[in-house]
Amino acid sequence: MPVVRTPVTVEALAAEGAPQRRAIAKAITLLESTRADHRAQADELLTALLPHAGQSFRLGISGVPGVGKSTFIETLGLYLIGRGHRVAVLTVDPSSTVSGGSILGDKTRMEKLSVHERAYIRPSPSSGTLGGVAEKTREAMLVCEAAGYDIVIVETVGVGQSETAVSGMTDMFVLLQLPNAGDDLQAIKKGVMELADLVVINKADLDKDAATRAQAQITSALRLFGHHGNPAHAQAMQAAHAAPGTPEAEVRFWQPRVIQLSALAGTGIDAFWDAVTQFRTMQAANGKLASRREKQALAWMWERIDAGLKHAFRHHPQVRELLPQAIAQVAAGTLPASTAARNLLAVQAGTTTTP
């Protein structure tokens, strides 16, 4: 059980050096705690942090296991620090479905970045949360922003085709791919690809021909999504093909693109950050960045409502009393799972009496 001995304050997060790092760590630990008294403290802290947060650029990094996310983030982080930025990295490690434990090893892969005074890296377990992120990743971003980090990078667990939660909490969603990532059909069917603002072919130096093929395949898939998928991407395509002088042609929208780089060799990072800068400038000018954050704030609210309702359900006295029997009946096949769920929900709502 996490232990937080003293309250964390906004002033402590504004400190410098080791005291600030301790304050950030304590704040995130407080936010991740499941104790009722800690949850109340966490709500107070978040309310106090809001006026000091929101000024950073939030970058989501996702990709399959082994694509080189940690290496890419370290190379990018050091590059950004060299340009005067302060970089916070929130990494998410998968939790074991057997033991519940997590190695939290991503930080060890970033040897240089993890010890830099202008960087902060916080690994967190997924703890069964779906979507490739941790339950309190959104809250941790606010802490880092209030501490003065102007670039916040969220690295997901190694994902497949459906882990897309990070795109709903960041300003830009970057998907890393390998040169031999699959054929045209594989590129088209990935749900995570549909949401990507920028696709990066990492390790392009290993097989330049394969990287070029992958770039062409994914570019074609993104064009298809523009016609039949993501509404924001479709809007960008319509603006790009609008007649000159029309209102639609005057507003610039971002069109997802594909680039090649090698994080290990350090090549292509300049081009990557140029693309990110173009995206940020364009989305800020057309209002999409502010709109995206508004939608994310509302999604965050409903996400916490869902989590709160589930917590309240599991801790309802009558539900806890009836749950073992319902579990036994469902496991034995004497009661349909849907009926058991409906009965338990009715008990929580007070619309039926316990047997």
- pLDDT tens, 249-266? 445 788 899 999 999 999
Residue 227 is predicted with a pLDDT of 52
Instruction: Of 2-6, 192-196, 241-245, give the range with the top mean pLDDT.
Output: 192-196
pTM of the entire predicted model: 0.81
Q: Directed axis angle between helix 36-49 and helix 18-32, to 10°?
A: 130
The Cα–Cα gap between 160 and 86 comes to 30
Residue 245 is predicted with a pLDDT of 53
Matching residue, tokens 């008294």: 37
Residues in the chain: 355
Mind giving me the DSSP string for 180-223?
T---HHHHHH-HHHHH-SEEEE-STTT-HHHHHHHHHHHHHHHH
Helix (H) / strand (E) element for 121: namely: strand 119-125
- pLDDT tens, 193-217? 888 899 999 999 999 999 999 899 8
